[in-house]
Amino acid sequence: MTTSHQVLNILVVGVGGQGVMTASEVLCETAILQGFDAKKTEMAGMSQRGGVVSSHVRFGPKIFSPEIACGEADILVAFETAEAMRWCHYLRPNGVAMVNRLHLEPPVVSLGLFPYPTHPVEEIRKHGIRIHDFDGSAIALELGDKRLVNTVMMGAISENLPFAPEVLKERIVERFRVRKPALAELNAQAFERGREAAREAAPA
């Protein structure tokens, strides 16, 4: 991805248990290893009960604050569709949204405090946002483990980063190679499937 500024702002959102924080941690680690300054901040609301989770990731020559200002995100990585809709206003006018087409009702919905949006992806498109939506959770389950969705989503955004996709893939796989080689191979597959899904879901 080319931006009009030197700092890349990535907003990662979802619900507890989906790997949002792991994904942001891997992004930061990879950026630092590539010579960038990187910072992140995380917010988890009842994450252990399926509550909403968000993480701001920023990297560039020098980062002074981990917070992404509203309207300044270059990439929105959404592990769940309603969360994508809730955070889409953080994107720049030329930003991109990578959205897992999964509907999970947070506690505020199941408690009857708020309704779940009927068509969140369509609502996002009404704002003129460039959105790639695909069923990342189905890909993860097809590979045998729903927890692979965070690697699927990392693969999906990998071609929008200022370093080669293989760099991020290697960082993810490295985490499993020594202790759990079978998981290393599964994550490599999940990453590539995410890349393919993002290309196929690219806006016309």
137's enclosing H/E stretch is: helix 136-142
How, if at all, do strands 37-44 and 130-134 pair? unpaired
Closest CA to 72 of 44, 43, 92, 42: 92
Please tell me the predicted confidence (pLDDT) of residue 44.
62
Closest CA to 10 of 82, 86, 66, 53: 66
Q: Do residues 11 and 41 make contact, with C-beta atoms less than 8 angstroms apart?
A: no
Give the residue carrying structure tokens 């009009």.
4
Q: How many residues are present in the chain?
A: 204
Percent over 70 (pLDDT), the chain? 92
pLDDT exceeds cutoff 80 at 114: no
70: three-class secondary structure by DSSP: coil
Identify the residue with better confidence: 18 or 37.
Answer: 37
**40-83 pLDDT tens trace:** 997 765 445 557 789 999 999 999 999 999 999 999 999 999 99
45's enclosing H/E stretch is: none
Q: Do residues 84 and 78 make contact, with C-beta atoms less than 8 angstroms apart?
A: yes
CATH superfamily of 8-200: Pyruvate-ferredoxin oxidoreductase, PFOR, domain III (3.40.920.10)
Give the residue carrying structure tokens 């893939």.
169
Closest CA to 128 of 101, 79, 160, 93: 93
**75-111 pLDDT tens trace:** 999 999 999 999 999 999 999 999 999 988 766 677 7
Number of Cβ atoms within 10 Å of the Cβ of 7:
18
Look up the pTM and report it.
0.90
Among 9-13, 45-49, 80-84, 178-182, the minimum mean pLDDT is found in 45-49
Tokens representing residue 100 in the block: 């897992």
What single-letter DSSP state applies at residue 162?
S
Largest CA distance in the chain: 47
Closest CA to 139 of 96, 102, 84, 98: 102
Nearest 5°: the CA angle 65, 70, 71 is 115
| Domain locations in the chain as residue ranges | 8-200
Q: What is the mean pLDDT of residues 107-121?
A: 78
Tokens representing residue 42 in the block: 């995380």
Q: How far apart are CA 24 and CA 14, in angstroms?
A: 12
